[in-house]
Structure 1
Amino acid sequence: MQAVVNGSTMPVLEIRLDQGEAVITPHGELSWMSPNIQMSQTTNAGGGRGGLMNTLKRAVGGGGLFLTQYQAQSGSGLVAFAAKVPGHIVPVDIAPGRDVIVHRHGWICGTPGVSPTVALQQSFRGGLWGGEGFVLQRLQGQGRAWVELGGEITQYTLAPGQTMLVHPGHVGMFDASVQFAITRVPGIANKIFGGDGIFLVALTGPGQISLQSMPVSGLAHALEPYLVRDGAVAAGEGGAIGGIVGGILRR
């Protein structure tokens, strides 16, 4: 298996599979593939983590009830996955004792031994997070996963007990050894939630955290004033942007 990330602003992950090799993805992530790639649906991500409860946990975390497996038949094949927003696609090695937590829509694909499940689901009042609340996925098992992060990536290595307070949308990925908690920081009037204070995520070491500069929700809300209710762009702004942003807002 050989994986290459092509491009810069809107990268594409291309994976060349030898005969019999496979990757798994959330349903519908495919961009293009060679004709000898066989697609099949599964509820088991591998690594011995099947069953109804694990399937439901994966769906809550953003992975979907069904996963799609892409396997090369009759020789080597190619499968590609394009980024959905400007940013980066990064590889992550998963192993027993080294789980990784990623944002809800971060996991693109992985080798069959990687199993996604829910790490946290926290509801917020108001519509700032698109009505979905704050949801994180845990990638566990053994193998390699590829994760999409929006915008630029800033990484910190937190010492034991060291804490970083992060806006929920900017949480991209972090080691499972990092503790996380929702906290309300007083001092700023918040017109969406009412009263004083804003909700932030407290990430406490030890471990590495990767923060993203452009969350999908931030991009959508920045462009929302230029859209009308049906997802089309206001007069004079161009229909292509309306279609793109309308799709983001419906996610």
Structure 2
Amino acid sequence: MNPVITGTTMPILEITLDAGEAVVAEGGDVAWLTPGMHLDTSTAHGSGGQGGFMSGLKRVLGGAQLFLTQYTAPPQGGLVAFAAQLPGTIREMRIDPSDTFMIQQGSYTASTPGVEVSVGLQKKLGAGVFGGAGVVFQKLAGSGTAWVQLAGELTEYELKAGESLLIHPGHLAMFRAEMPLEFATVKGIKNKFFGDSLFLAELHGPGHVWLQSMTPAKLAAAIEPYLPDRSGDKS
């Protein structure tokens, strides 16, 4: 297996597979692939070998799809490619029992069959924050390799024991799963758009954290004024 990440602001993950090698991804996320690739869609994929409908249900709770597709290379090998959905970067992560990660909902791109993709954390942050949806983190566990896409530019911190960081939840892209995470309300700070006090995620060390400069909500807000006004469209 030979994964290559190319591009700059809108990167592409190209994975060249030898005969019989496979990768797993959400259905419809593939950008292009070579002929002869065998596709198998099932709830068992992305379960780290555990399989079953309940594993798929856990993914749904984490904001992913119930069914994942496994791409297996034919005898002559093949290539499958995935394109980033937002300006940013694609990172390769090694997963094993001592290295498990929490990632923002929607960041999962692909993985090898031994990686388990499930819900890691759900938190309601009030009616005004993120449209009332709160925040959802997916957990990557099991054993293998996963690729995740993160928005904008990345800043990384290594927190020591006793250290903590207050982070706007939308900028918290990924962190090690064993790090304690709490949500706190900052009193006295009002936002005219949310109408709520400001909620921040408080992440405690030791462990590594990846922060993203862009959030999907802020990107949508930035381009919204330039979208056509369809309020008068009767079609």
Fold-level similarity (TM above 0.5) = yes
Q: Deviations over 1:71-113 (max 9, x none)?
A: 1012110000000111000000000132100000111000000
SS of aligned partner of 1:58: helix
- Map residues 83-102 of structure 1 onto 2, 5 A cutoff: 83-102=84-103
Number of residue pairs the alignment of both structures matches:
230
Q: Which residue of 2 aligns with 1:28?
A: 28
- 8 Å Cα contact 2:128/2:194 also seen in 1: no
- Map residues 1-251 of structure 1 onto 2, 5 A cutoff: 1-44=1-44, 45-194=46-195, 197-228=197-228, 230=230
The separation in 2 between residues aligned to 1:88 and 1:77, in whole angstroms, is 24
User: What is the root-mean-square deviation in Å for CA atoms of aligned residues?
Assistant: 1.7
The separation in 2 between residues aligned to 1:132 and 1:5, in whole angstroms, is 32
More displaced, 145-154 or 161-170?
A: 161-170
User: Which letter does structure 2 place at the counterpart of 1:178?
Assistant: M
Q: Which runs of 5+ in 2 are unaligned?
A: none
Cα offset, 1:161, TM superposition: 2.2
The separation in 2 between residues aligned to 1:17 and 1:11, in whole angstroms, is 19
Cα offset, 1:228, TM superposition: 4.7
The separation in 1 between residues aligned to 2:83 and 2:182, in whole angstroms, is 32
The separation in 1 between residues aligned to 2:128 and 2:42, in whole angstroms, is 33
- 8 Å Cα contact 2:129/2:194 also seen in 1: no
- 8 Å Cα contact 2:95/2:146 also seen in 1: yes
Given the two structures, how large is their TM-score scaled by the length of structure 2? Answer: 0.92
The separation in 1 between residues aligned to 2:75 and 2:230, in whole angstroms, is 46
The separation in 2 between residues aligned to 1:64 and 1:127, in whole angstroms, is 26
User: Which letter does structure 1 place at the counterpart of 2:185?
Assistant: R
More displaced, 219-228 or 154-163?
A: 219-228
Q: Deviations over 1:22-69 (max 9, x none)?
A: 000122210000002111101112423223332211111122100011
SS of aligned partner of 1:145: strand
Identity of aligned residues (%): 46
SS of aligned partner of 2:130: coil
- 8 Å Cα contact 2:49/2:113 also seen in 1: no
The separation in 2 between residues aligned to 1:221 and 1:41, in whole angstroms, is 35
Q: Deviations over 1:138-167 (max 9, x none)?
A: 001000000100010000001112111111
Given the two structures, how large is their TM-score scaled by the length of structure 1? Answer: 0.86
SS of aligned partner of 1:57: helix
SS of aligned partner of 2:60: helix
The separation in 2 between residues aligned to 1:229 and 1:135, in whole angstroms, is 31
Residue 221 to residue 127, structure 1, CA distance change in 2 (3 Å)? farther
SS of aligned partner of 2:30: coil
Residue 193 to residue 7, structure 1, CA distance change in 2 (3 Å)? closer
